């Protein structure tokens, strides 16, 4: 997509489509909705995070403000918002690890969760999946986690302003005005996006959220492990969540991560439930349809197919957000089901 000026000087580029779904019966719970899909972009150089550079010691990196939205076609009242963030993948389709892409061929990692966004929207959520190619084209480590968190918060800030009829999204997405509850937000990050989502929602950084925005539940999906030299190292505080419920969902055949560090970092201190979730025989990349051709399974003889793995995601993840954003309890969240093993750590005290 063509580069555009920074926020406040550019119109939003929007593409919209209707995703047709089959309505469920009236007795189903939760209610099912037809779904609309909208994309927006303020350009590839629309945002910067002070302290995040193209490379250590280099210039501050330019980041895009681009996302795809799935939502109920007919919005009534205020809906919870679920924000999705992808992880570390090549920013450009030609394999170039830079940003913006010299050929304008940005890799659509943020579209790899359309199947999940559609299912969440069918269940009544407004779902925003954000592009983080600019982060992937910059420096790594904790600076990248901080930048992902700031990028996610910037999108939430724009949606808060949109809800009030203000900001860069207000003109083209005015149909959402007054229909999104920014005090009832869930976040999900995949791989290093999960690390960024935990950074954003950690006790240490809760005060950095935009005014009027409240995250109520977090699900790091196959999150990349963070570095801390020992369990008492101060680095753990940047990834410790004790004040809101969260679930860590990882595949048993994931050759890249194990996710256990986030549970160990918080359990015994948590004031809300923590769910340690294992998708049996799932790998790392099949949760993202744009990455599906890369099979990294450590047990290929019994690995799930991409469709089976996505079925795990659309079973557990909507139930998790229903439980903590809509107060619809589900046994699968706390206890799992065949193919989804769950260990729940109850709150202390």
**Structure-token pair, residue 23:** 């309505």
Q: Which two tokens stand for residue 246?
A: 């969260």
Cα–Cα distance, 265 to 255 (Å, whole number):
21
Burial (CB count <10 Å: 0-12, 13-18, 19+), residue 133: buried
What is the distance between the alpha carbons of residues 270 and 202, in angstroms, rounded to a whole number? 12
Neighbours of 124 (CB within 10 A): 23
Backbone angles phi, psi at 33, to 5 degrees: -130, 150
Tokens 């010299």: give the residue. 102
pLDDT in tens, 65-98: 999 999 999 999 999 999 999 999 999 999 989 9
* Tokens of residue 126, six digits: 């407004």
The pLDDT assigned to 20 comes to 37
Distance between CA atoms of residues 261 and 244, nearest Å: 17
Task: Name the one residue in this structure whose structure tokens are 């010691």.
Answer: 57
Q: C-alpha distances in angstroms, 74 versus 37, 126, 217, 298, 307?
A: 12, 11, 25, 43, 28
H helices of 164-286, in order, are 192-201, 260-266
Ramachandran class of 106: left when φ > 0, alpha when ψ lies in -120 to 50, beta otherwise: beta
For residue 202, give Cα distances in angstroms to 83, 272, 293.
16, 13, 33
Q: What pLDDT, in 10s, does the model give residues 253-309?
A: 998 887 779 999 999 999 999 999 999 999 999 999 999 776 678 888 888 999 999
CA nearest 341: which of 259, 267, 271? Answer: 259
pLDDT score, position 27: 33
Residue 47: φ, ψ to 5°: -150, 145
Closest by CA position to 253, among listed 285, 288, 298: 298
How many of the other CB atoms lie within 10 Å of CB of 211?
7
How far apart are alpha carbons 260 and 204 in whole angstroms?
20
pLDDT in tens, the chain (349 residues): 333 333 333 445 666 554 433 333 333 467 888 999 999 999 999 999 999 999 999 999 999 999 999 999 999 999 999 999 999 999 999 998 999 999 999 999 999 999 999 999 999 999 999 999 999 999 999 999 999 999 999 999 999 999 999 999 998 899 999 999 999 999 999 999 999 999 999 999 999 999 999 999 999 999 999 999 998 999 999 999 999 999 999 999 998 887 779 999 999 999 999 999 999 999 999 999 999 776 678 888 888 999 999 999 999 999 999 999 999 999 999 999 999 999 999 998 7
Burial of 300 (0-12, 13-18, 19+ CB in 10 A): exposed
pTM given for the model: 0.92
How many Å apart are CA 306 and CA 283, to the nearest integer? 9
Q: Give the whole-angstrom CA distance, residue 166 versus residue 25.
A: 38
Task: Count the neighbouring beta carbons within 10 Å of the beta carbon of residue 85.
Answer: 33
Counting Cβ atoms within 10 Å, is residue 348 exposed (0-12), middle (13-18) or buried (19+)?
Answer: exposed
CA angle 221, 349, 323 (to 5 degrees): 40
pLDDT at 8: 37
CB 26 within 8 A of CB 65: no
Ordered domains of the chain (ranges, CATH): 13-345 (3.40.50.1820)
Helix (H, G, I), strand (E, B) or coil at 53: strand
Cα separation, 100 vs 133, whole angstroms: 8
Q: Residue 22 CB: number of other CB atoms within 10 A?
A: 7
């Amino acid at each position: 997509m063509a580069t555009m000026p920074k926020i406040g000087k550019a119109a939003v580029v929007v593409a919209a489509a209707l995703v047709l779904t089959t309505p469920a019966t009236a007795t189903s719970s939760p209610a099912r909705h037809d779904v609309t899909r909208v994309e927006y972009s303020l350009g590839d150089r629309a945002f910067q995070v002070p302290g995040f550079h193209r490379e250590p010691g280099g210039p501050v990196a330019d980041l895009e403000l681009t996302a795809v939205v799935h939502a109920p076609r007919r919005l009534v009242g205020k809906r919870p918002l679920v924000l999705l963030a992808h992880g570390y993948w090549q920013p450009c389709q030609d394999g170039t690890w830079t940003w913006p892409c010299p050929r304008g061929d940005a890799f659509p990692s943020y579209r790899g969760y359309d199947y999940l966004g559609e299912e969440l929207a069918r269940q009544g959520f407004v779902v925003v999946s954000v592009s983080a190619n600019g982060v992937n084209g910059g420096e790594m480590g904790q600076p990248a986690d901080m930048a992902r968190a700031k990028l996610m918060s910037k999108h939430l800030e724009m949606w808060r302003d949109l809800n009030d009829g203000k900001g860069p999204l207000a003109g083209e997405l005015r149909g959402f005005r007054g229909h999104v509850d920014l005090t009832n937000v869930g976040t999900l990050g995949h791989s290093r996006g999960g690390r960024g989502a935990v950074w954003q929602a950690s006790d240490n950084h809760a005060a950095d959220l935009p005014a009027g925005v409240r995250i109520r539940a977090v699900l790091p999906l196959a999150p990349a492990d963070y570095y801390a030299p020992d369990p008492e190292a101060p680095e753990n505080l940047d990834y410790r969540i004790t004040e809101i419920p969260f679930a860590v969902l990882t595949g048993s055949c994931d050759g890249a991560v194990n996710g256990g560090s986030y549970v160990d970092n918080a359990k015994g201190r948590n004031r809300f439930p923590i769910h340690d979730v294992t998708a049996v025989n799932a790998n790392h990349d099949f949760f993202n349809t744009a990455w599906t051709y890369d099979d990294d399974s450590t047990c290929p003889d019994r690995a799930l197919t991409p469709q089976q793995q996505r079925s795990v995601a659309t079973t557990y993840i909507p139930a998790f957000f229903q439980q903590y954003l809509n107060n619809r309890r589900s046994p699968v969240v706390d206890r799992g089901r065949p193919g989804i093993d769950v260990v729940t750590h109850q709150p202390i005290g």
